[in-house]
């Protein structure tokens, strides 16, 4: 199928634009993927590059994103240290593991993990949420959604534009968790009780676990979303954004750690790591 419109597809998917890139992936476990790019080669004996093009330096965006991802690795490491350090501190030192927030959130997360392995047919719920994230990202980018399809085997969204934000939105946004939060905030305006709060914590844990489990499940299957901005760049960005989201949940759920404390932990870890790199580089240059 030829089109000048970018197409985002999951499962049996293709991305087509002015450069006619085609890609196919599948949510099935034994899937294969391919990425092909059509080129119109010039007639034999003719220079494929004009004199003007020869004088221009063109650096592929993927190379730039790869370099950006390398610089983001210290950020990812420091965020990891800050998150697990903060979690360990509030859980052990401040007895966060004894709180209602911890137990109801954890029970909801555990319930989903059981369902994930027992009922594989629930993948259609994930596919719908995945494509919905693409569609929402397109709309937030000022684009138009022209087709929306989902099924158990996969789905796709056809839009008039594509970028990194649109391609990776389903891996960033826990869409069902956002729906749960908005529903709770609305319901709390009319009905406020402990039971409602407990249900909210349980469903939030359930949907967060849903997001993480299916994200980890679908990434190794060769999704074209991941290829769009370069696999390495996409994976680093997905990890950082998800860690930021769960760090925010930890800060909100715990009364013993503030945003200021978390940023201080992050910066301390980052400075320590950069200082280590500096000392290693200094020793290498001296030798």
Place of tokens 């991305």: 15
Segments of 189-261 assigned E as strands: none
Hey, where are the domains in the chain? 60-143+160-286
Q: Mean pLDDT across the stretch 142-148?
A: 93
pLDDT band per the 50, 70, 90 thresholds, residue 120: confident
Cβ neighbours of residue 26 closer than 8 Å, sequence gap 6 or more: 11, 12, 32, 33, 153, 154, 221, 222
> b/e string for 74-107 if b means 16 or more Cβ within 10 A?
ebbebbbbbbeebbebbbeeeebeebebbebbee
pLDDT band per the 50, 70, 90 thresholds, residue 56: low
Q: What confidence score (pLDDT) does residue 154 get?
A: 87
Q: Mean pLDDT across the stretch 50-74?
A: 77
Percent of the chain, pLDDT > 70? 80
Task: Flag whether pLDDT at 43 surpasses 50.
Answer: no
Task: Flag whether pLDDT at 52 surpasses 70.
Answer: no
Q: Which has more pLDDT, 255 or 24?
A: 255
Provide the token pair at 112.
Answer: 């989903």
pLDDT band per the 50, 70, 90 thresholds, residue 44: very low
pLDDT band per the 50, 70, 90 thresholds, residue 253: confident
Task: Flag whether pLDDT at 49 surpasses 50.
Answer: no
Place of tokens 């995945």: 130
Q: Mean pLDDT across the stretch 253-261?
A: 89
CB 139 within 8 Å of CB 173? no
In terms of residues, how long is the chain? 287
Q: Rounded to the nearest 5°, which phi and psi values hold at 160?
A: -95, 10
Q: Which has more pLDDT, 94 or 24?
A: 94
Q: What confidence score (pLDDT) does residue 25 get?
A: 36
| Rounded Cα distance, 89 and 95, in Å | 9
Place of tokens 């610089």: 71
Task: Tell how far CA 135 is from the center of its chain.
Answer: 15
Task: Tell how far CA 223 is from the center of its chain.
Answer: 12
CB 171 within 8 Å of CB 243? no
Query: Nearest 5 degrees, angle CA 260-CA 265-CA 269?
Result: 145
* Model pLDDT for residues 150-185, shown as the tens digit of each residue: 998 889 999 999 999 999 999 999 999 999 999 999
Q: What is the mean pLDDT of the chain?
A: 82
Nearest to 214 by CA among 180, 251, 177: 177
Lowest-confidence pick of 61-65, 128-132, 215-219 = 61-65
Q: What confidence score (pLDDT) does residue 99 get?
A: 87
pLDDT band per the 50, 70, 90 thresholds, residue 24: very low
């Amino acid at each position: 199928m030829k089109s000048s419109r970018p197409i985002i597809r999951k499962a049996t998917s293709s991305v087509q634009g002015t450069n006619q890139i085609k890609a196919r992936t599948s949510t099935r476990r034994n899937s294969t993927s391919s990425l092909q790019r059509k080129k119109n080669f010039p007639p034999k004996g003719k220079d494929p590059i004009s004199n003007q093009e020869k004088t221009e330096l063109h650096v592929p965006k993927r190379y730039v994103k790869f370099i950006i991802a390398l610089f983001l690795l210290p950020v990812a490491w420091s965020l990891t240290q800050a998150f697990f350090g903060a979690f360990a501190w509030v859980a052990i030192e401040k007895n966060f593991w004894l709180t209602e927030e911890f137990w109801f959130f954890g029970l909801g997360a555990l319930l989903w993990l059981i369902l994930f392995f027992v009922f594989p047919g629930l993948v259609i719920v994930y596919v719908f949420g995945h494509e919905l994230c693409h569609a929402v990202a397109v709309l937030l980018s000022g684009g138009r959604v022209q087709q929306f399809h989902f099924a158990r085997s996969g789905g796709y969204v056809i839009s008039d534009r594509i970028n990194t934000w649109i391609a990776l939105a389903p891996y960033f946004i826990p869409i069902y968790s956002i729906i749960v939060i908005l529903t709770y905030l609305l319901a709390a305006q009319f009905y406020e009780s402990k039971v409602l709060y407990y249900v909210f914590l349980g469903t939030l844990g359930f949907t967060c676990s849903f997001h993480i489990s299916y994200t980890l499940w679908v990434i190794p299957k060769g999704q074209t979303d991941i290829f769009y901005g370069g696999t390495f760049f996409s994976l680093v960005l997905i990890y950082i954004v998800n860690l930021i989201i769960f760090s925010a949940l930890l800060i909100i759920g715990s009364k013993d750690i503030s945003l200021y404390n978390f940023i201080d932990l992050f910066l301390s870890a980052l400075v320590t790591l950069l200082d280590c790199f500096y000392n290693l580089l200094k020793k290498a240059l001296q030798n």
